[in-house]
Amino acid sequence: MATGPPPLTGIKVLEFAGLAPGALHLHLASCPGSTDTVIPAPFAGMLLADAGASVLRIDRAAPSPTQDVLTRRKASIAVDLKAPRGVALVRALVAAGADVLVDPFRPGVLEKLGLGPRELLALNPRLVYARLTGFRRDGKYRDMAGHDINYLAVSGALSMLGRATDTPHPPLNLLADMAGGGATLFQGILLALLARQTSGRGQVVEANMVDGASYLATFPRLMLKTSQGARGRGRNILDGGCPFYDTYATKDGRYVSVAALEPQFFAALMTGLGLAGQGWDERRHDPAEWPALRRVFEDVFARRTRGEWEAVFDGTDACCVPVLDYAELETDPAREGDQRPAVTLRQTPCLAVKQQGDAPGDAATYGQGRGVPGDGYEGAALAPGQGGEEVLRQWLSWTKGKEYDVSDGGFVLTKAESRL
């Protein structure tokens, strides 16, 4: 079956990057006095770009670039938003038909520049004005600085993560920043674009990492009021309390994962471990037996290397597979480490991540196009202004010196065009 262009082909996205210097350029979306970039917002922009959208990042006109590496397929223009002709340039891009604008800043920053949703939606009623904050815009913590762990903490989700005998632990910055923030904003943008198909109008999309993380925690939150989740953090079936849903160290200091929840899977696990017929099948659902069963598993798994356990369980339904790290996945072609689009679209695939050369594989599975340098394992910073002139030519047939100029490192409208 022939494939068509990626699903967001033709969608034009303006993504604001940080406008103030910062050593790591981490997100301070709710911090007064800070306009630093928000990591999850570039993640949303990357998702849009991978789906075929043209994403133009608006950088500050200064020598220090952002350290953002979520730059796949993006271009940049540097704009001095303190200069009227710089603001006019952004307004002109919106008025000329930008589909999406991504605002990662604390509430009020873009409004003070005359680039708030009221002004820009008046210029372009079809614009999807997408905004992302850490804390709720109307909540108790709206004026406070924060990071992923803080948003996760006040969402309630962090209280469920970690061992019973230790403090709560976040899963890196995946749950609030990336899933609850960037991916949720991406979802909101798609919903607004879909609604625009019917209404003909854009709208403001507001996402925050507290609500996003809380929504992702819907199932475990509901389980808190059932016997499957009411025993406290780290004491339940799916949170590390249950010995047949956990990880174990092997003889070579590596790890295996076990998820033998159903009786037939548990039976296959016990057979592979050489523990069949010892009565654990009948006792496994009694939490009082879990400490003893865990000790048995720890002892048995430590007798062989991870590779030896792989040889035992590969091809079985024991739900026991190795814990792989990215160094292995990147270098071992037998592992499932080739980075692909997050979802397979059979007729309009997203763009490839892994470089495919002249003989790409199935486009729907691997993505279409040649992929990107680094194969999804190495990111690259995007220099201010990189690729921006070409995007302005593609979007609007603009040329330097006619519709815009570059002044002190920043793109500005020419005086003849500065009417917006």
Q: Active-site positions?
A: 177
- 204: β partners: 129
Which stretches of 35-113 are assigned E, i.e. beta strand?
A: 54-60, 75-79, 100-103
Whether the CB-CB separation of 256 and 324 falls below 8 Å is answered with: no
Whether the CB-CB separation of 390 and 396 falls below 8 Å is answered with: no
Of 168, 119, 166, the closest CA to residue 148 belongs to 168
Q: How many CA atoms lie within 13 A of 268 on its CB side?
A: 17
Residues with Cβ within 8 Å of 58's Cβ and at least 6 positions away in sequence, in order, are: 14, 15, 16, 17, 76, 77, 79, 90
Structure tokens of 223? Answer: 């389980």
Residues in the chain: 420
Calculate the CA dihedral of residues 123, 127, 82, 142 and round it to 10 degrees: 120
- 321: β partners: 257
